[in-house]
């Protein structure tokens, strides 16, 4: 189980890779729709469900599709299906993939079959009405964050003498790996002491917990990213002596006032409640509820870590020239920030680094910036212009959007860009994840030859989108690239026989042939 847990800690990487994995194959996936189930054939001849276009509320998934045994349900197959209330999974099923039922907010009942072996990361993420679930004895792998956001879930029924899982006082543990897997958000109490002997708090184990204080024992060795994610009432927590990594453990902890470090920890230190990694010279976490409107990052700091300043009420932050990296979601929901000066010296912006910074209207990216993740300025509703400093060899502006030259990827379209029609020339190869997310004014987008991939949530909440021109060169469109319910009236212009046409047909989207 140690090996499994190590793999789980790579979830962020895996989530990024899963959106482009199909594009690396020698041939694109072939989608087939059978009675509302969109599926692909695996190498062994079995079927993996990739989507669902039916309207059933109480769904019994068949054991076969067109004569092929259903053995897996893939990435986001039923994502955001707000019709489903009950699901019975077939006896042939071996694996639930990443987020297959995520955001199925009306889902109340799921029956897992004996024979199921793997439940992957965030399988039931934010199934808010799910109250009870069974885990059969055949399940040997439960990845992390499986029940994150299941705010009504109060009971997990385990098969008698389950080989490695245990429920203690309502809390789910993997005893073999000494890991706390899930703390029920519905559980009452403001304070919780993790049992001594526990070595790891799993990814999103305390997600949505109402706790104000969590006391960790000295036995804790691992705190994976997201361990305390969305603990919106958490005020204080301690970092035990053996812990050497805490990246992203406090995501969305907007009431956090101070972080304390236990004596004997050789990696971390707390300065006025702000957490630093003294070995990596990085600022790990500025408590979101810490008082004050301005803050100067100490000279010599080389990195601002993921989610470091999220939800703060700071009006200004001084970032010295020593900083090279601004991590994923570093300034998420910093709504009071109206101006950001990225110093010459900053080399990398992580995924969504300034997401939901609603006061930003214009941003200048320095010449030193050479690497960017998924849309660093997603949901910056007032952002209308992105300027690239003269001398930058890695980035350019094309049709008002900034493009990463290395792989010719559209990284970000400013949300307040006034243009309704956008046309991209031959040469653009990738639409990066969330590149056009929440661009509510865009009506038409045309891509030239050479486009290959449209990644996860690329056009999320583009509700005015009327027309999209996709070339024959496209070999991968992520299941969540478009909000499928919002684009039923959108016209997709595609080449007959192309991957894009197959994708649109399988998901029942309107198409017309390219000229």
Answer yes or no: same fold for 292-393 and 400-515: yes
Q: Extract the tokens encoding 84.
A: 């489903």
Give pLDDT, residue 26. 57
- Give the separation between CA 411 and CA 373, rounded to whole angstroms: 8
pTM over 0.75: no
Weakest mean pLDDT among 19-33, 306-320, 329-343: 19-33
Going by C-beta distance under 8 Å and a sequence separation of 6 or more, which residues neighbour residue 187?
170, 171, 209
Mean pLDDT of 114-119: 96
Whether residue 131 has pLDDT greater than 90: yes
- Give the separation between CA 103 and CA 123, rounded to whole angstroms: 10
Percentage of the chain modeled with pLDDT above 90? 81
Whether residue 476 has pLDDT greater than 60: yes
CATH T-level assignment (fold) for domain 292-393: 3.80.10
Confidence tier at 196 by pLDDT (50, 70, 90): very high
Domain ranges, ordered by start, for the chain:
292-393, 400-515
Sheet holding 171-174, edge to edge: 165-168, 171-174, 179-182, 200-201
Q: How many CB atoms lie within 10 A of CB 117?
A: 14
Q: Extract the tokens encoding 58.
A: 């109480």
63-86 confidence digits (pLDDT tens): 999 999 999 999 999 999 999 999
Architecture of the domain defined by 400-515: Alpha-Beta Horseshoe (3.80)
Q: How many CB atoms lie within 10 A of CB 197?
A: 10
DSSP string of 418-450, one letter each residue:
--SEEEE-TT--EE-TTTTTT-TT--EEEE-TT
- Residue 501 in 3-state DSSP? helix
Backbone φ/ψ region at 416: left (φ over 0), alpha (ψ -120 to 50), beta: alpha
Whether residue 15 has pLDDT greater than 60: no
């Amino acid at each position: 189980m140690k090996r499994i847990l190590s793999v789980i800690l790579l979830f962020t990487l895996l989530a990024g890779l899963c959106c482009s994995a199909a594009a690396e194959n020698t041939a694109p996936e072939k989608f087939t729709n059978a009675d509302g189930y969109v599926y692909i054939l695996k190498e062994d001849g079995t079927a993996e469900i990739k989507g669902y276009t039916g309207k059933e509320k109480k769904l019994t998934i068949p054991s076969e599709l067109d004569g092929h045994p259903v053995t897996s349900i893939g990435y986001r197959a039923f994502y955001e299906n707000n019709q489903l209330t009950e699901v019975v999974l077939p006896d042939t099923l071996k694996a639930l993939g990443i987020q297959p039922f995520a955001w199925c907010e009306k889902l109340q009942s799921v029956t897992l079959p004996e024979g199921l072996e793997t439940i992957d990361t965030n399988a039931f993420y934010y199934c808010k009405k799910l109250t009870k679930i069974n885990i059969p004895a055949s399940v040997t792998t439960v990845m992390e964050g499986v029940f994150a956001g299941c705010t009504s879930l109060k009971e997990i029924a385990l098969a008698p003498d389950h080989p490695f899982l245990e429920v203690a006082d309502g809390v789910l543990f993997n005893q073999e790996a000494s890991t706390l897997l899930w703390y029920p958000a519905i559980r009452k109490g403001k304070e919780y002491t993790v049992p001594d002997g526990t070595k790891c708090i799993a990814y999103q184990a305390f997600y949505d917990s109402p706790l104000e204080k969590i006391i960790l024992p000295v036995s804790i060795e691992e705190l994976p990213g997201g361990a305390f994610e969305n603990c919106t009432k958490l005020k204080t927590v301690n970092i035990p002596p053996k812990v050497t990594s805490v990246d992203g453990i406090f995501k969305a902890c907007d009431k956090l006032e101070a972080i304390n470090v236990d004596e004997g920890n050789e990696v971390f230190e707390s300065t006025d409640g702000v957490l630093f990694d003294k070995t990596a010279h990085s600022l790990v976490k500025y408590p979101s509820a810490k008082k004050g409107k301005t803050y100067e990052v100490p000279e010599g700091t080389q990195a601002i870590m993921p989610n470091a300043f999220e939800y703060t009420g700071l009006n200004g932050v001084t970032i010295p020239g020593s900083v090279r990296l601004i991590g994923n979601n570093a300034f998420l929901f910093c709504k009071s920030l109206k101006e950001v000066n990225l110093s010459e010296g900053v080399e990398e912006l992580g995924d969504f680094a300034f997401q939901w910074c609603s006061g930003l209207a214009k941003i200048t990216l320095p010449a030193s910036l050479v690497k960017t993740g998924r849309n660093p300025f997603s949901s910056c509703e007032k952002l209308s212009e992105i300027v690239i400093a003269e001398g930058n060899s890695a980035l350019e502006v094309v049709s008002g959007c900034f493009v990463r030259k290395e792989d010719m990827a559209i990284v970000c379209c400013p949300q307040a860009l006034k243009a309704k029609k956008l046309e991209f020339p031959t040469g653009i190869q990738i639409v990066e994840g969330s590149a056009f997310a929440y661009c509510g004014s865009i009506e038409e987008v045309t891509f030239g030859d050479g486009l290959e991939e449209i990644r996860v949530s690329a056009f999320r909440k583009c509700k005015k989108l009327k027309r999209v021109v996709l070339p024959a060169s496209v070999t991968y469109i992520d299941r969540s690239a478009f909000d499928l319910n919002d684009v039923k009236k959108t016209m997709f212009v595609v080449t007959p026989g192309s991957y894009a046409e197959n994708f649109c047909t399988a998901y029942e989207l309107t198409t017309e042939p390219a000229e």
